Amino acid sequence: MKSYNLYQVDSFTKQKFSGNPAGVVTNAAGLNEVQMQKIARELNNSETAFIFPPVDADHDLHVRFFTPTMEVPMCGHATIAAHYAYSVENNLPSMQIVQKVGAGNLPVDIVKTGQDYKIIMTQGDIKFESPFNLVIKSRICDALGIVDSDLEPEAPIQIVSTGHSKILVCLKSFEQLRLLTPTFSDLIKISHEVGCNGYLVFTKDSPDPNCFINARMFGPALGINEDPVNGSSGGALGAYLVRHQLIEHSGQHEVRFKVRQGFSVDRPGIVEVVVDIDEAGNPTLGKIIGDAVIVYKAELVV
């Protein structure tokens, strides 16, 4: 029997019981995959993060992420939660930590402000897949309960990844986004066929002038019908907006914007996205910035 430090952390918010909850075990050495999966299932958050000592010298921490049903290579909100809890527990100064995750070795910046922290997560290589053909596009629209005329015409439906791929769908209006009632069984079938488990549906039509994008993320194939505030999609979304000229970036080396999520499930939260841009105007790197708050800390004995 061993004692583990278990946290429940709400990410992308400073208000408890909002944002996106994640479980965090800050001293996971000794847990095996079966135990981690059972802990994630028991907590029933969209993801639970497990922090291990480094495997070798090229990183500082090894972090693994589990949904209630499977391990995933990377998770934005659980990364924010994990490093927030670890920073608070160890009273870390501002610093950069390299985390080894399923998507590779990625830097995380710990920014201490007073007695609190912001976490900046650098995401993986940007990868665009070809836009879907008309058949798959039509099936996705049907599963989401929308029609082709609801889509922004300059914004193709396609898979983009910065470590954990998402299918990006851009709608014209916030009201369409707010009223979505997907058929989750159909989304699962499509996910299995195209090899992507998450659907980030978003719009530039925002009721909040401080937030450029409003979004909802559906991941029924991961066991998550709707993720309140999804962070791993941030870099992919930013790269997509730059690639398709959906955000002004002429002559800029980076763009920053905020994404408002969680409004549809009464867990509001904000993700700040930063995208680096090269001289040719191409997106080269995505980062997300998030607040967090600890809801509780407990002792887990396994």
| 255-283: average pLDDT | 97
Question: Percent of the chain beyond pLDDT 90?
Answer: 96
Strand 71-72 to 61-66 pairing? antiparallel
Q: In the prediction, which pLDDT does 223 show?
A: 86
What are 125-135's pLDDT values in tens digits?
999 999 999 99
Average pLDDT over residues 267-294: 97
pLDDT score recorded for residue 173: 97
Q: What are the catalytic residues?
A: 47
Q: For the chain, give the percent of residues with pLDDT over 70.
A: 100
Express each pLDDT in 45-93 by its tens digit. 989 999 999 999 999 999 999 999 999 999 999 999 999 999 999 999 9
Question: Could you tell me the pTM of the whole model?
Answer: 0.93
Q: What is the mean pLDDT of residues 20-37?
A: 98
Task: Give residue 288's pLDDT.
Answer: 97
DSSP 38-69: HHHHHH--S-EEEEE--SSTT-SEEEEEE-SS
Q: Beta-strand (E) ranges in the chain?
A: 3-11, 20-25, 48-52, 61-66, 71-72, 95-101, 104-113, 116-122, 127-128, 158-161, 166-171, 199-203, 213-219, 224-227, 254-261, 269-277, 283-290, 292-301
Interval 203-241: pLDDT, tens: 999 999 999 999 999 999 988 899 999 998 999 999 999
Per-residue pLDDT, averaged over 170-182, amounts to 97
Taking Cα atoms as reference points, which of 302, 200, 218 lies closest to residue 259?
200
User: pLDDT by residue (tens digit) across 89-144?
Assistant: 999 999 999 999 998 999 999 999 999 999 999 999 999 999 999 999 999 999 99
- pLDDT at site 250: 85
Mean pLDDT in residue range 36-42: 97
Contacts of 267 (CB under 8 A, 6+ apart): 17, 18, 19, 20, 21, 228, 229
Q: Which of 93, 124, 125 is nearest to 109 (CA)?
A: 93
